[in-house]
Each structure stands twice: as structure tokens, then as C-alpha cells.
Amino acid sequence: MQLLCQSGQEGPVDVTYPAEGIDLTIFNRETQPEAARALEHAACLTVVAQSLDEHSVCLQLAFYEAGQRERGDDPTLRAVFGLLPGVKVPVPFDLTWLDGETLFAPRTLGRLKMTIFGKRIRRTDIAEIVLSATPSLPDRSVRLWPCELLDQMPEIDIQPQPLVDELGQWLPKQWPGKVADRAACDAVLRKMAGDDASGKSETSGVPAGDPVYTLDGWGRFGGWTGKRFKATGWFRVEREPAGSDGRPGRFWLVDPDGNAFVSTGVDCIGPGVGARVDPVRPWLDAHVAGLLDHAIDAAKASSADGASHDSAKPAATDVYAGRRRSEPVVDPTDPSFSWRADARGCGGVTAFYDYGKANLRAAFGENGWRAAWARITRRHLLDWGVNTIGNWSDRAFIREAGLPYVLPVEELAGVGFPSTPHMVFRDFPDVFDPEYERQAARYAAGLEAWKDDPNMIGYFMRNEPNWAFVYDLNIAEEMLANPADLASKRRFVDWLRERYSDSIATLNGHWGAEFGSFDEITAEPRFRAASAWPGSADDLHTFSTMMIDRYVRVPAEALRRVDPHHLNLGMRYAYITDKSLLAGADCYDVFSINSYQRTAYDQVEQVGRMLDMPVMVGEFHHGALDRGLTAHGIRGVTTQTERGVAYRYYVEQAARSPYFVGAHYFQYNDQSAIGRFDGENYQIGLVDVCMQEYPEMAAAMRDCHEAVYRVAAGERVAFDRVPEEVNPIHY
């Protein structure tokens, strides 16, 4: 069933749109009754689009219920996705995703990242579907073909054309600092590593001994000797007395030597960034395309003879997707390429190539590249004044670098964040199931190998739970809509019996319901219970908060039993979508959020005041398109110079808050030009694919980190030049 992107248009249409974006209604239940009937049984909705300029394009499918657009309300559910510039790409939206359980959609051929926001929506409740080009740079152009409702997921065919060179750089674009070829890349890397033209290294690895920071007043851990507290040999939290003006006392981290410490960190410090190559097969350079074709053939052959190419490999956790996968096969001819047979991959495999590692291998050889990378990286960090190795960083480097660091506990034991056989909603577990406590103990055991290291600041319990992306989410309401037999449902019924003195009549009077018994409440799935029985809203919200508290408390207590010394740094919520996310915060030493704002000051102040506790920012970044890649990331600025301005403004303004104890930049490397595992391809790195720093960012970071302690102490005015921002391209 064809749906028109523009009224009366049968073929493709070119649309030029302003900076604020454009909306096109592709489905209206009242005016398209035939399409409404097709929607009831269709398998997918397919969009076909092509960016006509040099930047990636971000599109959105929005699913509205009756009256929402007229009232100016947000859609019940929306899917945001990205496409590389200059190529025609079909994008199928699997209509099973309308159940709201999927946050990050599986990759399909040609598409970059797709993120699905909002709550479940029934097909019969969809009044309109709107295709949007989201706010972006001025005068963007995109070509759109008519959308279609299909009875099955389509086979996708894309015209091949190379879009990246052998170094992993974007081919269609030139910029200052773009490396000409392999020989030039080798020379750049060897110079940074301190090697001579023959490749002979000045040192075999990271120098032994304490790191030496060149910033004034910094101690061996990167703490500030200008403010001293009691030394305990561990990182901890200290609070100064309240000011005479009534201003709350400032929180500080304190390093093991007793120096005041503000954590200036960088996430994902590692050699290179793996690009997922099977969804972008038509656009690879010849070498990687050949490796991928070989893997696809091998997967088909192993499938045909009934053997699994990697069945003998041990299981490993795919933390991001929350499911277990077999370990990949590493190609012996090029260790930068790995793959596994996977029916959900494009071509029957899921495959990765790391251009950054390949560049290091070419410059230093298989036996020398790792040590050379570590030397370059440690020098960068010390030069920039970075005093914390952030989340998801190379653990071998953490051990040898001698710098303070944080860890993501969910990755340490190989079991992920505690889960249960049946989940309540997305990745929210059945927290009253006894299995949750058993899994929490296994998860906490990952700290055993790290618990005695004084360089560790602390640990994050997890990162951006998928369930917490939904605004006004009521976990208890989603629990009632879930058809599974959940222990949390039974606990809810017992709790209601206690709350209403075992009188169903009293509950019915309060809820406006007509249940015959308490057990009847959970006897069948209840869709949007708070709307069906408005009087239930307070009970559902209260129990939802209880569930979130248990979600935090059970693993937090398990972690504390394993490691009593290090700081619990919280959950790194993406944003605070509801106050119930603050439940269990008394288990943390520091509350953490990922704050992609112009500065985190307001968010830090808000959360810090509500909880009266210190706050750390786990992620922030800014990207620009004057060099390298084709998408900004979550915040966009005009140039690399403005990226440096944005960094200083973000950190120093946040440091004015007495609750602020640190911020970690996301991330060390630029993402892949053709997309990382989920399809993000953002120009957000501190180094490019050839490990060259961005000089403007490097200089700004040094200036910021030299100032940050005195700004936090109130001895210096925060940097106040507002960066030149633009609508970012991100998905």
C-alpha cells in the first residue's frame, strides 16, 4: 500500500527545507481509509530517502493519536534515524516496534542509527503518521520517494560506491589535516609515538612511575594542592561548611593524598573505534569489502552444512543489546576485522572493522602498535590536563597508565546489569523475582579484581537504562500491561491488600473500578491502567517508585559488600524523565547524569538541590562539520574553534555549582565515518582516525583544566563566552 510523501506526488520529490525542518503527513486515518485497513495487517512501513547535500540527514517517523497534533502534543511514539549523504536508502520500520519495547532498532542495510522514543501505541489508535526532516542547518535538501506499507520486510538493494578510503576517512570531502595516504599516516603516527623513520621506538611502552601533570598546583593524582583535606588513601567525598550567605557548602572529591579533586575525564579511551561494516557494505573500500564478502560466504557455507562457524567459542555479553552472543571470528589475515554469523545481520553476518587499529598496525606492526598507541594516548591526556580515564576505556591501559579512572560495573563480570527471565518493560527487570538478587551478586563480583586499587575513583552501576528514556513513565503501569507472570505483579497485589486492609470494595471506591478481587487486577494485561481507572494513578506511581528503589538498592548493596572503599557513582541516567528516577539515590555517593546541554549547570543544580548530594556528568560533547565526518553529535557548533569554546563554557559554568564534582567528555576518538556498532558517526572525538588531536580542542582543554579548581573554589570567574551553536545532526 503506497502512502504519498506529498499530496499528488507519485514519484520522488526533492524537498528543500529551512533550519527548523519540515513535516509531511504520510498517513491520515480519516482521509485514507484504505491505508487504515492496510495498516492493521502490514509488517512494516518503508521510507526511501536521499540527502542531496554534503551532510548526513536525520529523519523522523511520528505516530500520533487523535487530537495530539491539534493540541500541539508530542506524538505517542516516534522513530528518529540517520542516513549518510548522497546515497539513496530504503528504511523499513518494523511495525512490531509500536509496542514501545525497542529503544535502539536493529540495523538495516544503508541506515545509520534509529532510536525509538515514547510509549506503546496500538495500530487502531494511530490517527496520523508524519515524516519529518528534523531541525538542521539552513537550506537542506532531501529526495523522498513515496512511503509504503508492506506485508513483509523488504529485500534492500543499494548501488555500490566507495565512501571511505583505506584509512577510514570520508572520501567525498576535503579538510585541513586530512591525511593523504597510508605512507603519510604511518609518518604521522610514528612522529607522535617518538619513533624514528625506521619505526624504532624511543620506549617500549608507558613510562613507569607516577604521572607528571604540568598544570600549576596539580598533585600526582591530578588533584589540587591548593585545597587540602584528610588523606585516607582512597578517593572520597568531602563537603565544606555552608557559607555565611546561606549558600550550601561545596562538595569536593578528595584524592588519596587529600587534595581537592574535580574529575575532568574522557570516555572510551581505546585504540580506534570499530565500524559495523555489514550494514554499509556497498560503500566500503575494496580491502574491507573483500573481507566482508569472504565472511558472508563462510557464514553461508557453515549454515549450509549445519555447522556453526563459531560454536566452539565461549559466550560473551553484548551489553548494549542486553542479550548473549557468540564471540566473533577474527580474520587471521587482518586482525582489525571480526565477524560472527548472525541472522539479524546484513548478509547473514554481523561484522566490524577498526580502521584506527588498522592504521596503528600498519605503522608499528603487530608486536608494536599497542605500546605505541598507549604512549601517544598517555601523552595526550597529560598534555590536556585530563585527570580521569572515563567509562568504557581500555582496561589494560587503565592498569598501566597510572591515572585515576572510573569503571562501568555492568561490563566487568561478563553478566551485564542484573536481569530476570521476564523483564517488566524494555530492560527493567522483575525486581521482586529472587533471581534479581542472585544476578546482583554475580554482577557485583566483577569488582573483586579492582577493589584494592587506590587509582580507582569509583564505579558507575550502569549507563542510560533503556526504560528510563520514556517521559512520565510509570513502571507499575507498564508492569500491568505486560502479559508475563511477574513476581512484581504478585508483590503489587500483596501491597494493595495491605494498603486497603484487604478490602477490594475500598480499592474499587478509590480507583473507580469494579474488580471482584485483588487477584483480578493482574489476571489479564491492563493497557494504560491509570487512564482506565484515574484513581489508581497515585498507587501506581508509588509502587513504581518502590520498584525503581529496589532496582537500585539490591545491586548497590551487593556492590558495597564486595567493595567498601570506592565511590558508587550512580546510574548515569540520560536525563531525569520523572522524579521517580531519584529513588534509591541514598545508595550512591555521587549522583550521575549524562547532560547534553550548553552547560550542565542547571541540571547539576536541580538534582543536587533535590538530593543534597554531589553530581557528576558522565557524558557531554560538541561536534563540528568543518573537518572529517558528516554529523555533529548531540550538540553542534560551527567550527573546531567553537568546539573548544563550547568545552570551556560547559565545564567552567558547571563548576560554579557547589554540587558539581566532575564531567567526562564523550569521547576520545571520532566515531567511524560510516557508523559504529549502532550507526552513530559523529565528529565528537579529541583525536581523528589517524590519532591526530584537534589543536583547538586541545588548547581549550588545557586552559579549562588549569582554571577549573579556582573556578570551583570561587577564586576565579568562569569562562563566559557562549559558543556559536547550530542545530545538530544526530540520531
Provide the total of helices (H) and of strands (E) in the chain, helices listed first.
16, 32
Average pLDDT over residues 148-171: 96
What is the C-alpha separation between 294 and 299, in angstroms, rounded? 9
Distance CA 344, CA 311 (A): 17
Is residue 675 within 8 Å of residue 275, measured between CB atoms?
yes
Cα distance between residue 416 and residue 317, in whole Å? 7
Which amino acid is located at 605 in the chain?
E
User: How do residues 624-634 score in pLDDT, each as one tens digit?
Assistant: 999 999 999 99
Residue-wise pLDDT for 588-629, tens only, equals 999 999 999 999 999 999 999 999 999 999 999 999 999 999
Query: Which pLDDT band holds residue 305 (cuts at 50, 70, 90)?
Result: low
Please, is 466 exposed, middle or buried when counting C-beta atoms within 10 Å of its C-beta (0-12, 13-18, 19+)?
Answer: buried
In the predicted model, is pLDDT for residue 199 greater than 90?
A: no
| Location of C-alpha cell 545481520 | 345
Q: Are 378 and 386 in contact (CB under 8 A)?
A: no
Res 3: pLDDT: 79
Q: How far is CA 677 from the centre of its chain?
A: 11
* Cβ neighbourhood burial of 358 (10 Å; 0-12, 13-18, 19+): buried
* Mean pLDDT over each residue of the chain, to the nearest integer: 94
Q: What is the C-alpha separation between 593 and 600, in angstroms, rounded? A: 9
Q: What are phi and psi of 717, to 5 degrees?
A: -75, 140
> Could you tell me if 430 and 550 are in contact, meaning their C-beta atoms sit under 8 angstroms apart?
no
DSSP state string for 207-249: PSS-----STTB-TTS-EEEEE----SS-EEEEPPPPTTSPPP
Q: How far apart are CA 127 and CA 119, in angstroms?
A: 15
Angle made by CA atoms 224, 226, 229, in degrees to the nearest 5 = 80
For cell 471482584, the residue is: 516
Range name among 70-79, 166-175, 242-251, 271-280 with the lowest pLDDT average = 242-251
Instruction: Please report where in the chains the cell 555489514 appears, as a residue.
Output: 278
Location of C-alpha cell 570567574: 717
Alpha carbon separation from 405 to 362, 566, 619, 703 (Å, rounded): 30, 11, 15, 22
Say what the pLDDT of residue 180 is. 98
At 11 the pLDDT is: 83
Contacts (Cβ under 8 Å, ≥6 apart) of 476 = 492, 539, 540, 541, 543, 544, 547
Report the CATH number of the 365-412+449-461+569-718 domain.
3.20.20.80
Would you identify the CATH topology of the domain 2-150?
A: Jelly Rolls (2.60.120)
Q: Report pLDDT for 244.
A: 81
Percent over 90 (pLDDT), the chain: 91
pLDDT at 259 > cutoff 60: yes
Q: Are 708 and 655 in contact (CB under 8 A)?
A: yes
Tell which residue, 135, 140, 137, has the closest CA to residue 21: 135
* pLDDT reported for residue 204: 59
**What is the predicted pLDDT for the residue at 311?**
31
Q: At residue 317, does pLDDT exceed 80?
A: no
Percent of the chain's residues with pLDDT above 70: 95
CA distance 635 to 151: 38
Residue bearing cell 587471521: 332
Cell numbers at 229, concatenated:
583535606
Please state, in angstroms and rounded to a whole number, the distance separating the CA atoms of residues 8 and 282.
33
Q: How far apart are the first and last CA of the chain?
A: 27
531: exposed, middle or buried (Cβ count in 10 Å: 0-12, 13-18, 19+): exposed
Please report the beta strands in 613-698, taking only residues with DSSP state E, as ranges in sequence order.
Answer: 615-619, 636-637, 660-665
Would the pLDDT of 17 be above 60? yes
| C-alpha dihedral, 609 to 610 to 613 to 617, nearest 10° | -80
339 burial via Cβ count (<10 Å: 0-12, 13-18, 19+):
buried
pLDDT at 320: 26
Q: How far apart (Å, rounded) are the C-alpha atoms in residues 88 and 145?
A: 10
Residue 212: pLDDT band (50, 70, 90) is confident
Query: With 90 as the cut, is the pLDDT of residue 6 above it?
Result: no
Q: What is the largest CA-CA distance in the chain?
A: 86
What local confidence, expressed as pLDDT, does residue 321 receive?
A: 35
pLDDT reported for residue 685: 98
Task: Write down the pLDDT at residue 324.
Answer: 34
Q: Which amino acid is at 595?
A: S
Beta strands in 86-198 (DSSP E): 89-94, 111-118, 128-133, 140-150
Q: How far apart are CA 24 and CA 127, in angstroms?
A: 14
Average pLDDT over residues 408-429: 97
Report whether pLDDT(392) > 70.
yes
Please state the pTM of the whole predicted model: 0.94
Q: Which residue has the cell 532496582?
A: 551
HSE of 675, CA atoms in CB hemisphere, 13 A: 30
The arithmetic mean of pLDDT across residues 549-572, rounded, is 98
User: What is the distance between the alpha carbons of residues 171 and 629, in angstroms, rounded to a whole number?
Assistant: 10
pLDDT at 712 over 70: yes
Q: Give the whole-angstrom CA distance, residue 437 versus residue 419.
A: 9
